[in-house]
Structure 1
């Protein structure tokens, strides 16, 4: 057995066949006689040979790696979307390279440069800013891009959810439950998701003929430089519950903040939903498993991820797909 990593030549030598025959076994086994194929496969197992996907991709003129850049890989929203991406990529023999931008355009650009230098097959990205100026570094290398959780942009394929409709359904639900003082724990207003969810909140109030100033109290908490986290949700909930009059319901712009808000509500000895009702956004898997299951807006994250991967692999013209959200009512708003 060779001391270094076994090569195709090592396999050919042990099986007593040509390098070309080994290549046929790896790529077109149906073209090789059964006895010869079994001899080569036995040599592969004995040597522990593993083909280089990088070299294979170079020969084929296309990498088998796909870059996936999201705001935070620890956020369950992106974890679910990434699983959908991975499942679809695997069908074509590709693998995702998952990276976090921390919603920082500078870090996003650094990651893009690394991926461009690796000549990845494509990049699926949730942009860090409302603009997509950083995409130029990828287009210059003719690397296909799909935007995930982003509204349509000319010249780029996109997959998104309807955040305005989702937030509107959440607040309409709270209004239908009789709440007339609602706290909104939102992310930074400069982020597209935050801005559109706020539009949905205001649309619900407007449709009900209610004055925003009378019903709504808002915060955009940031803890350790991050929003959309459980800690940020707890801080936001504390500020809202200290306001007067205090809200009887909280709508949080994602489930992680909602979980933090529920923690703060309980810390104060208050009941959910008896004293304070809570609605989240994303419907992450744990939402249904909490002590008080969380009412949340389901975005079909895994399906969105799979759709983004399909767009990237298809090499078709630019497409735009919008997923309709659906409110899932659970015990955090319905006693």
Structure 2
């Protein structure tokens, strides 16, 4: 601060005894400035505490070096890995990523979308609750590209997705192949596209095999909610329990497994086989290693950023949709 106000480039130039243009060159193209002048400017910047107004610089240049990423739940390791993929790709492109979590709430998602647009980010990567389509289209119309992640492949604009219907289907097909005939599906937030698609695939596989599928409602997509759902299953008699459980994400599956393991009430997989979804790193190190449907979170993040860069380079090009096929990772929770 200089006299209670923000330090400007003019203040730095005056202290260093150079022109304002020289200060700008030191900040943006230091290789063209002589070592002596560069050292004087850098010393003045340090002494005065000058901080570049990057927002103003971006407005002048007409482009930002920052990308906004919005995920559904930052507490879910899957989304941490997804953002990690975005950040790795952004680093390769000399970009920075600002990430926010909507907490599965439309209101917060819309808040982040508006904030990122106001900050004039280069573009936005969005794992959406599905309730902000109008705002996304308005932001695109005003010139900020938005790439959807975990979206419906038929969605407007470029997108990256996983075939969640196939994911739910292969989970139940695996349980049927293990001889299970009474299958429970633990799910919450069925209004989310991903959850609805996974259940749709599970029902399709159950119908094809002629087995029962009971949807067991959880309060949220968390470990604690999974434990509560699992405890309710423990309270049932052996004849009333399913002999297999498919959870729509790994956090729910970990909670169910905790409930089953408490005082060794239900043996996994002997009494109930268990499958999760996402194949987070923790799935392989649970008390009973968890069979899970794997989706390539890191690759999805990298691909989403690549699509965003394509849109920026060629704004009139047709949107691209990239869909990945999930795979089943078998572990002891179904095959032990």
Range class of TM-score, shorter chain: 0.7 to 0.9
SS at 2:293's partner residue?
strand
Name which of 267, 277, 301 aligns with 1:281.
Answer: 277
The CA RMSD over aligned residues, in Å, is 2.5
Q: d(CA) in 2 for partners of 1:138 and 1:265? A: 47
Name which of 289, 298, 305 aligns with 2:301.
Answer: 305
Matched, 1:228 2:227: no
SS at 1:257's partner residue?
helix
Partner of 1:40: 41
Q: d(CA) in 2 for partners of 1:55 and 1:62? A: 11
- 1:1-335 paired onto structure 2 within 5 Å: 2=2, 5-129=6-130, 132-153=133-154, 155-207=156-208, 210-212=209-211, 215-222=212-219, 227-241=220-234, 242=236, 244-267=239-262, 269-314=265-310, 315=312, 316=314, 317=317, 318-335=319-336
SS at 1:165's partner residue?
helix
Runs of 4+ residues deviating >6 angstroms: none
Contact 2:168 2:201 in 1 (8 A): yes
1:256 to partner: Cα distance: 0.5
1:258 to partner: Cα distance: 0.4
Q: Which piece of structure 1 moves more, 40-49 or 61-70?
A: 40-49
1:5 to partner: Cα distance: 4.8
1:302 to partner: Cα distance: 1.9
Q: d(CA) in 1 for partners of 2:205 and 2:132? A: 27
SS at 2:100's partner residue?
strand
Q: d(CA) in 2 for partners of 1:296 and 1:68? A: 26
SS at 1:287's partner residue?
helix
1:51 to partner: Cα distance: 2.3
SS at 2:333's partner residue?
coil
Q: d(CA) in 2 for partners of 1:46 and 1:93? A: 28
Contact 2:106 2:132 in 1 (8 A): no
Distance 1:93 1:45, change over 3 A: farther
1:240 to partner: Cα distance: 4.1
Q: Which piece of structure 1 moves more, 254-263 or 239-248?
A: 239-248
Q: d(CA) in 2 for partners of 1:93 and 1:57? A: 15
Distance 1:110 1:42, change over 3 A: closer
Uncovered stretches (5+) of structure 2, i.e. residues with no partner:
none
After superposition, give the CA deviation of every residue in 1:93-148 in whole Å (9 maximum; x if it has no partner): 43333233333334433333333333332221122127823323313422211101
Q: TM-score, normalised by structure 2?
A: 0.87
Q: Which piece of structure 1 moves more, 311-320 or 254-263?
A: 311-320
After superposition, give the CA deviation of every residue in 1:218-276 in whole Å (9 maximum; x if it has no partner): 21221xxxx21112212333344527431222110001100110111112622222322
Contact 1:168 1:203 in 2 (8 A): yes
SS at 1:73's partner residue?
coil
Contact 2:65 2:94 in 1 (8 A): yes
Q: Which piece of structure 1 moves more, 295-304 or 109-118?
A: 109-118
Uncovered stretches (5+) of structure 1, i.e. residues with no partner:
none
Q: d(CA) in 2 for partners of 1:92 and 1:42? A: 30
1:325 to partner: Cα distance: 1.4
1:163 to partner: Cα distance: 0.8
Q: Which piece of structure 1 moves more, 178-187 or 237-246?
A: 237-246
Q: d(CA) in 2 for partners of 1:13 and 1:187? A: 62
Q: d(CA) in 1 for partners of 2:114 and 2:133? A: 15
